[in-house]
Amino acid sequence: MRNMLEKHQDSVYAVQLTELTKVYDGRKIVDNLSLIIPAGEIFGLLGPNGAGKTTVMKMIAGLTQPSKGSVQIFGINRDDQPTAIKKLVGLVPQDNNLERDLTVEEVLLIYGRLFGVDQVKHRVAEVLEEFNLEQSRYKQVGVLSGGLARRALIARALLPDPKLLLLDEPTVGLDPDVRQDLWTIVRHLTDQGKSIVLTTHYMEEAEQLCQQVAMLRAGRLALLDTPAGIKQQVGKTGQALGALESMFIKLVREGDA
Protein backbone atom coordinates (compact mmCIF):
# COMPACT_ATOMS: atom_id res chain seq x y z
CA MET A 1 0.00 0.00 0.00
CA ARG A 2 2.83 2.37 0.84
CA ASN A 3 4.33 1.84 -2.62
CA MET A 4 1.02 2.70 -4.20
CA LEU A 5 0.68 5.88 -2.18
CA GLU A 6 4.27 6.90 -2.88
CA LYS A 7 3.63 6.49 -6.58
CA HIS A 8 1.70 9.75 -6.64
CA GLN A 9 4.93 11.67 -6.12
CA ASP A 10 6.05 10.76 -9.64
CA SER A 11 2.73 11.04 -11.42
CA VAL A 12 2.35 13.94 -13.86
CA TYR A 13 -1.40 13.58 -13.70
CA ALA A 14 -3.36 14.63 -10.67
CA VAL A 15 -6.58 13.06 -11.91
CA GLN A 16 -7.42 10.72 -14.74
CA LEU A 17 -11.08 10.07 -15.47
CA THR A 18 -11.84 7.20 -17.83
CA GLU A 19 -15.30 6.80 -19.35
CA LEU A 20 -16.80 8.14 -16.15
CA THR A 21 -20.57 7.83 -16.06
CA LYS A 22 -23.15 8.54 -13.37
CA VAL A 23 -26.79 7.64 -13.78
CA TYR A 24 -29.50 8.85 -11.38
CA ASP A 25 -33.01 7.49 -11.85
CA GLY A 26 -32.24 6.44 -15.42
CA ARG A 27 -30.84 9.86 -16.33
CA LYS A 28 -27.17 10.25 -17.25
CA ILE A 29 -25.78 13.14 -15.21
CA VAL A 30 -22.21 12.42 -16.29
CA ASP A 31 -21.87 10.65 -19.61
CA ASN A 32 -18.73 8.76 -20.59
CA LEU A 33 -16.37 11.52 -19.47
CA SER A 34 -12.66 10.95 -20.04
CA LEU A 35 -10.31 13.65 -18.86
CA ILE A 36 -6.74 14.08 -17.72
CA ILE A 37 -6.01 16.81 -15.20
CA PRO A 38 -2.31 17.72 -14.90
CA ALA A 39 -0.54 17.84 -11.54
CA GLY A 40 0.53 21.16 -10.05
CA GLU A 41 -1.96 23.28 -11.99
CA ILE A 42 -5.31 24.96 -11.47
CA PHE A 43 -7.83 23.22 -13.67
CA GLY A 44 -11.28 24.72 -14.25
CA LEU A 45 -14.43 22.68 -14.70
CA LEU A 46 -17.07 24.90 -16.26
CA GLY A 47 -20.57 24.45 -17.53
CA PRO A 48 -24.17 25.56 -17.09
CA ASN A 49 -26.35 24.42 -14.20
CA GLY A 50 -26.97 20.68 -14.40
CA ALA A 51 -23.91 20.04 -16.57
CA GLY A 52 -22.59 17.53 -14.01
CA LYS A 53 -19.69 19.55 -12.54
CA THR A 54 -20.49 18.90 -8.90
CA THR A 55 -21.19 15.21 -9.58
CA VAL A 56 -17.75 14.89 -11.20
CA MET A 57 -16.17 16.57 -8.16
CA LYS A 58 -18.02 14.23 -5.80
CA MET A 59 -16.87 11.19 -7.78
CA ILE A 60 -13.26 12.38 -7.64
CA ALA A 61 -13.59 12.99 -3.89
CA GLY A 62 -15.20 9.59 -3.29
CA LEU A 63 -18.56 10.90 -2.06
CA THR A 64 -20.37 9.49 -5.08
CA GLN A 65 -19.72 6.10 -6.64
CA PRO A 66 -19.58 6.09 -10.47
CA SER A 67 -22.13 3.99 -12.35
CA LYS A 68 -19.36 3.17 -14.83
CA GLY A 69 -15.76 4.13 -15.51
CA SER A 70 -12.84 4.83 -13.23
CA VAL A 71 -11.14 7.60 -11.28
CA GLN A 72 -7.37 7.60 -10.87
CA ILE A 73 -5.71 10.05 -8.53
CA PHE A 74 -1.95 10.46 -8.92
CA GLY A 75 -1.90 7.15 -10.76
CA ILE A 76 -3.82 5.21 -8.11
CA ASN A 77 -7.17 3.72 -8.99
CA ARG A 78 -9.81 4.73 -6.46
CA ASP A 79 -11.35 1.24 -6.56
CA ASP A 80 -8.01 -0.34 -5.56
CA GLN A 81 -7.39 1.86 -2.51
CA PRO A 82 -10.70 3.58 -1.69
CA THR A 83 -9.78 4.39 1.90
CA ALA A 84 -6.05 5.18 1.70
CA ILE A 85 -6.47 7.39 -1.38
CA LYS A 86 -8.64 9.78 0.65
CA LYS A 87 -5.50 11.18 2.28
CA LEU A 88 -4.50 12.64 -1.08
CA VAL A 89 -7.71 14.61 -1.67
CA GLY A 90 -9.26 17.65 0.01
CA LEU A 91 -12.75 18.84 -0.88
CA VAL A 92 -14.18 22.31 -0.35
CA PRO A 93 -17.90 21.88 -1.00
CA GLN A 94 -20.29 24.43 -2.42
CA ASP A 95 -22.32 24.68 0.78
CA ASN A 96 -21.12 25.37 4.31
CA ASN A 97 -21.13 21.90 5.88
CA LEU A 98 -19.03 22.71 8.94
CA GLU A 99 -20.49 21.22 12.15
CA ARG A 100 -22.69 24.19 13.08
CA ASP A 101 -22.66 23.69 16.88
CA LEU A 102 -18.85 23.72 17.09
CA THR A 103 -16.25 26.46 17.04
CA VAL A 104 -13.81 26.90 14.17
CA GLU A 105 -11.01 25.40 16.24
CA GLU A 106 -13.11 22.40 17.27
CA VAL A 107 -14.10 21.73 13.66
CA LEU A 108 -10.45 21.74 12.62
CA LEU A 109 -9.37 19.53 15.53
CA ILE A 110 -12.07 16.99 14.70
CA TYR A 111 -11.11 16.92 11.04
CA GLY A 112 -7.42 16.56 11.87
CA ARG A 113 -8.17 13.62 14.17
CA LEU A 114 -10.36 11.96 11.54
CA PHE A 115 -7.39 12.13 9.16
CA GLY A 116 -4.89 11.02 11.78
CA VAL A 117 -2.85 14.24 11.50
CA ASP A 118 0.27 14.15 13.71
CA GLN A 119 0.50 16.83 16.40
CA VAL A 120 -2.96 17.95 15.44
CA LYS A 121 -3.16 20.93 17.83
CA HIS A 122 0.07 22.36 16.43
CA ARG A 123 -1.15 21.82 12.86
CA VAL A 124 -4.49 23.48 13.65
CA ALA A 125 -2.66 26.50 15.06
CA GLU A 126 -0.60 26.69 11.86
CA VAL A 127 -3.67 26.56 9.64
CA LEU A 128 -5.56 29.12 11.73
CA GLU A 129 -2.63 31.51 11.31
CA GLU A 130 -2.20 30.76 7.60
CA PHE A 131 -5.83 31.57 6.86
CA ASN A 132 -6.15 34.52 9.24
CA LEU A 133 -8.69 32.67 11.35
CA GLU A 134 -7.03 33.20 14.74
CA GLN A 135 -9.53 35.90 15.73
CA SER A 136 -12.39 33.56 14.88
CA ARG A 137 -11.05 30.36 16.43
CA TYR A 138 -13.60 30.37 19.29
CA LYS A 139 -16.51 31.52 17.15
CA GLN A 140 -19.30 29.05 16.49
CA VAL A 141 -19.22 28.24 12.78
CA GLY A 142 -22.96 28.81 12.49
CA VAL A 143 -22.46 32.56 12.99
CA LEU A 144 -19.50 33.04 10.60
CA SER A 145 -19.82 35.41 7.64
CA GLY A 146 -19.77 33.87 4.14
CA GLY A 147 -16.13 34.84 3.59
CA LEU A 148 -14.93 33.50 6.95
CA ALA A 149 -16.89 30.28 6.50
CA ARG A 150 -15.28 29.81 3.08
CA ARG A 151 -11.84 30.37 4.60
CA ALA A 152 -12.63 27.85 7.32
CA LEU A 153 -13.77 25.32 4.72
CA ILE A 154 -10.54 25.71 2.75
CA ALA A 155 -8.48 25.57 5.95
CA ARG A 156 -10.26 22.35 6.96
CA ALA A 157 -9.68 20.74 3.57
CA LEU A 158 -5.97 21.63 3.67
CA LEU A 159 -5.39 20.56 7.27
CA PRO A 160 -4.28 16.98 6.36
CA ASP A 161 -2.03 18.47 3.63
CA PRO A 162 -3.70 16.83 0.59
CA LYS A 163 -1.93 16.88 -2.77
CA LEU A 164 -5.15 17.54 -4.65
CA LEU A 165 -7.69 20.19 -3.67
CA LEU A 166 -11.19 20.21 -5.13
CA LEU A 167 -12.95 23.59 -4.93
CA ASP A 168 -16.63 23.44 -5.81
CA GLU A 169 -17.86 26.97 -6.62
CA PRO A 170 -15.43 28.46 -4.07
CA THR A 171 -16.46 32.10 -4.45
CA VAL A 172 -20.18 31.87 -5.14
CA GLY A 173 -22.15 34.50 -3.22
CA LEU A 174 -19.07 36.30 -1.92
CA ASP A 175 -18.27 40.02 -2.14
CA PRO A 176 -15.77 40.99 -4.86
CA ASP A 177 -13.06 41.87 -2.30
CA VAL A 178 -13.46 38.53 -0.50
CA ARG A 179 -13.36 36.79 -3.88
CA GLN A 180 -10.07 38.52 -4.74
CA ASP A 181 -8.75 37.47 -1.36
CA LEU A 182 -9.60 33.83 -2.05
CA TRP A 183 -8.02 34.00 -5.51
CA THR A 184 -4.78 35.02 -3.83
CA ILE A 185 -5.05 32.00 -1.50
CA VAL A 186 -5.69 29.64 -4.42
CA ARG A 187 -2.71 30.97 -6.40
CA HIS A 188 -0.55 30.62 -3.31
CA LEU A 189 -1.58 26.96 -3.01
CA THR A 190 -0.24 26.09 -6.45
CA ASP A 191 3.02 27.76 -5.46
CA GLN A 192 3.11 25.15 -2.66
CA GLY A 193 2.77 22.38 -5.26
CA LYS A 194 -0.91 21.62 -4.80
CA SER A 195 -3.00 20.50 -7.74
CA ILE A 196 -6.37 22.23 -7.84
CA VAL A 197 -9.61 21.48 -9.62
CA LEU A 198 -12.26 24.16 -9.36
CA THR A 199 -15.76 24.54 -10.66
CA THR A 200 -17.09 28.03 -11.17
CA HIS A 201 -19.84 30.02 -12.81
CA TYR A 202 -17.63 33.09 -12.99
CA MET A 203 -15.82 33.06 -16.32
CA GLU A 204 -13.56 35.83 -15.13
CA GLU A 205 -12.47 33.61 -12.26
CA ALA A 206 -11.56 30.76 -14.58
CA GLU A 207 -9.70 33.14 -16.90
CA GLN A 208 -7.74 34.62 -14.01
CA LEU A 209 -6.86 31.40 -12.24
CA CYS A 210 -6.89 28.37 -14.53
CA GLN A 211 -4.15 27.01 -16.74
CA GLN A 212 -6.68 24.72 -18.44
CA VAL A 213 -10.44 24.60 -18.56
CA ALA A 214 -12.92 21.91 -19.51
CA MET A 215 -16.47 22.86 -20.37
CA LEU A 216 -19.17 20.30 -19.67
CA ARG A 217 -22.56 20.19 -21.30
CA ALA A 218 -25.17 17.60 -20.30
CA GLY A 219 -22.49 15.58 -18.56
CA ARG A 220 -20.23 15.38 -21.59
CA LEU A 221 -16.97 17.10 -22.39
CA ALA A 222 -17.77 19.95 -24.77
CA LEU A 223 -14.42 21.73 -24.81
CA LEU A 224 -10.94 21.33 -23.36
CA ASP A 225 -8.37 24.05 -23.82
CA THR A 226 -6.30 26.77 -22.19
CA PRO A 227 -7.94 30.18 -21.66
CA ALA A 228 -5.51 31.54 -24.29
CA GLY A 229 -6.53 28.84 -26.76
CA ILE A 230 -10.20 29.65 -26.23
CA LYS A 231 -9.48 33.33 -26.84
CA GLN A 232 -8.02 32.41 -30.22
CA GLN A 233 -11.06 30.28 -31.07
CA VAL A 234 -13.53 32.99 -30.11
CA GLY A 235 -11.67 35.69 -31.97
CA LYS A 236 -13.38 39.05 -32.34
CA THR A 237 -16.66 38.02 -30.71
CA GLY A 238 -14.79 37.49 -27.51
CA GLN A 239 -13.62 41.07 -27.18
CA ALA A 240 -16.87 42.42 -25.80
CA LEU A 241 -17.64 39.76 -23.23
CA GLY A 242 -14.38 37.98 -22.52
CA ALA A 243 -13.34 34.85 -24.38
CA LEU A 244 -14.48 32.24 -21.88
CA GLU A 245 -17.83 33.89 -21.32
CA SER A 246 -18.45 34.07 -25.07
CA MET A 247 -17.57 30.41 -25.48
CA PHE A 248 -19.69 29.50 -22.47
CA ILE A 249 -22.74 31.27 -23.89
CA LYS A 250 -22.15 29.72 -27.30
CA LEU A 251 -22.00 26.22 -25.83
CA VAL A 252 -25.10 26.75 -23.69
CA ARG A 253 -27.06 28.01 -26.70
CA GLU A 254 -25.89 25.09 -28.83
CA GLY A 255 -27.07 22.78 -26.06
CA ASP A 256 -30.48 24.48 -25.92
CA ALA A 257 -30.93 24.37 -29.70
Partner 1 sequence: MGWYAVYRREMLVLWKQIGRMGYVFSSIIFPFIYLFSFGLGLGDRVNVDGGYLPFLAKGIMGVTVMLNAFQQTAGSVSVGRLYFHDFRSVVLSPIAAWEVVLGLVLAGVMRGIIFGSLVFAIAWGAFDVGGLNSLAVAGLLLGSCCFAALGVAVGMLVNNPTDVSMINNFFITPMTFFGGSFFPLQNLPHWIAVIAQLSPIGTLNTLLRSNVWDSGAMWAAGTLIVLTVCFFSWSAWLYSRYSE
- Rule CB under 8 A: which residues touch partner 1? 58, 61-65, 83-87, 89, 91, 93, 95, 97-102, 106, 110-111, 113-116, 156
Considering the complex, what minimum distance in angstroms separates the CB of residue 194 from partner 1?
A: 17
Query: CB-wise, 82 or 235, nearer to partner 1?
Result: 82
Indicate the residue among 30 and 234 with the shorter CB distance to partner 1: 30
- Of 105 and 207, nearer to partner 1 (C-beta) is 105
Minimum distance from CB of 8 to partner 1 (Å)?
A: 14
Q: Which is nearer to partner 1, 95 or 175 (CB)?
A: 95
How far apart are the C-alpha atoms of 140 and 227, rounded to whole Å? 40
Minimum CB separation from partner 1 for residue 132, in Å?
A: 22
Whether residue 155 contacts residue 128, with contact meaning beta carbons closer than 8 Å, is answered with yes
- Least spacing, CB of residue 161 vs partner 1, in Å: 13
Q: How far is the CB of 74 from partner 1 (least distance, A)?
A: 15
Name the residue nearer to partner 1 (CB basis): 83 or 192.
Answer: 83
Phi-psi region of 14 (alpha: psi -120 to 50; beta: other; left: phi over 0): alpha
CA 29/CA 38 separation, integer angstroms? 24
What's the rounded Cα separation, in Å, for the pair 184 and 213? 19
- Minimum Å gap between C-beta 4 and partner 1 is 13
> Toward partner 1, which CB reaches closer, 119 or 180?
119
Identify which of 190, 199, 109, 118 has the alpha carbon closest to the alpha carbon of residue 155.
109
Closer CB to partner 1, 156 or 231, in the complex:
156
Distance in angstroms (rounded) separating the CA atoms of residues 164 and 166: 7
Neighbours of 166 (CB within 10 A): 24
Minimum distance of partner 1 from residue 73's CB (angstroms): 13
